[in-house]
Amino acid sequence: MAEPKHPVRTVDRTLEIVEIIQELDGAGVSEIADRVDIGKSAVHNHLNTLANREYLSKEGDEYHIGLSFLSLGVYARNRNDIYDAARLEVDKLADETGELVNLLVEKNGMGVYLYQAKGENAVELDTYEGKRVRLHCTGLGKAILGFRPREEVADILDRYGMPEMTEQTITDREDFFDELDEVRQQKYAIDREERLTRLCCVASPITDNQDRSIGAISVACPLHRIGDDRFYDELPDAVLGTANVIELAHNYS
């Protein structure tokens, strides 16, 4: 996304403060002031304005994200065509596999979790609807990037890099492009402990009529309870089948 020619500094600063509060799961005036280049008095003014509009709540000396953001987030999610087409199928896949099923879309070179459903044995992770993640270290991200032009993928890697999240993260660009070639051939991606240790995922892209990815779904499993037959045969078939149903619903409804 292109940088605005005339950014409004006050708005930019306010959003930065909100993001800091979310990142820290609550913060006080001094803590926020240490992270931004304005004084405590200015930070306090931003916080009071947001709290007055119920975008923040104050608990003791800390400010937290308020419920006014919830209606905006739900509204933004519900406007996404992929969410409407995928929600019920994601729920079904979670019930069938008993695992955690994720729906991810790409926004400005980052992955955004749009929806999650938990089966009876679903693992608890650090992910949640709205969380942003790098694309190079997740099965979901590789599924999306495998169905994007190489130049576009290169631009994303230039912008965000390929930091090592675990010992299994692919950090070499040529190795990564080789992996994407395999993803494109088989139409699913494997995450072998590449973002979180002891976690594996199988992901498939959701593509439009031009075979361009517009999202991806995945099944996430803890490494200790999944065998090769299930991981390399059963789950890819299940994820591919669900992605195909979502594509039909999205592209031809």
pLDDT for residue 6 is more than 80 = no
pLDDT (0 to 100) of residue 181 = 97
Note the pLDDT tens digit of each residue in 11-22.
889 999 998 998
Of the candidates 7, 45, 31, 82, the one whose C-alpha atom is nearest the C-alpha of residue 249 is: 82
pLDDT (0 to 100) of residue 226 = 81
Q: Are residues 36 and 132 in the same domain?
A: no
- Domain with residue 141: its CATH number is 3.30.450.40
Of the candidates 139, 23, 85, 115, the one whose C-alpha atom is nearest the C-alpha of residue 247 is: 85
Average pLDDT over residues 219-236: 87
pLDDT (0 to 100) of residue 155 = 97
Average pLDDT over residues 237-243: 97
Domain containing 96: what range? Answer: 80-252
- Residue 11, phi then psi, degrees to nearest 5: -65, -45
Q: Are residues 148 and 237 in the same domain?
A: yes
Q: Residue 159 falls within a domain, yes or no?
A: yes
Average pLDDT over residues 72-79: 82
pLDDT (0 to 100) of residue 110 = 96
Average pLDDT over residues 70-95: 89
Q: Residue 3 falls within a domain, yes or no?
A: no
Q: Are residues 99 and 215 in the same domain?
A: yes
pLDDT (0 to 100) of residue 80 = 80
pLDDT (0 to 100) of residue 228 = 76
Contacts by 180-187, CB closer than 8 A, 24 or more apart: 180/142, 180/145, 180/146, 180/153, 181/146, 183/142, 183/143, 183/145, 183/146, 183/147, 184/146, 184/147, 186/236, 187/240, 187/243
Confidence tier at 252 by pLDDT (50, 70, 90): confident
Q: Residue 20 falls within a domain, yes or no?
A: yes
Average pLDDT over residues 98-111: 96
Confidence tier at 69 by pLDDT (50, 70, 90): confident
pLDDT (0 to 100) of residue 51 = 93
Note the pLDDT tens digit of each residue in 162-205.
999 999 999 999 999 999 999 999 999 999 999 999 999 999 99
CA distance 145 to 192: 17
pLDDT for residue 5 is more than 80 = no
Q: Residue 238 falls within a domain, yes or no?
A: yes
Q: Are residues 143 and 30 in the same domain?
A: no
pLDDT for residue 1 is more than 70 = no
Note the pLDDT tens digit of each residue in 200-223.
999 999 999 999 999 999 999 998
Mean of per-residue pLDDT scores for the chain: 92
Which residue type occupies 234? E
Q: Residue 43 falls within a domain, yes or no?
A: yes
pTM: 0.84
pLDDT: is 238 or 8 the higher one?
Answer: 238
Q: Residue 106 falls within a domain, yes or no?
A: yes
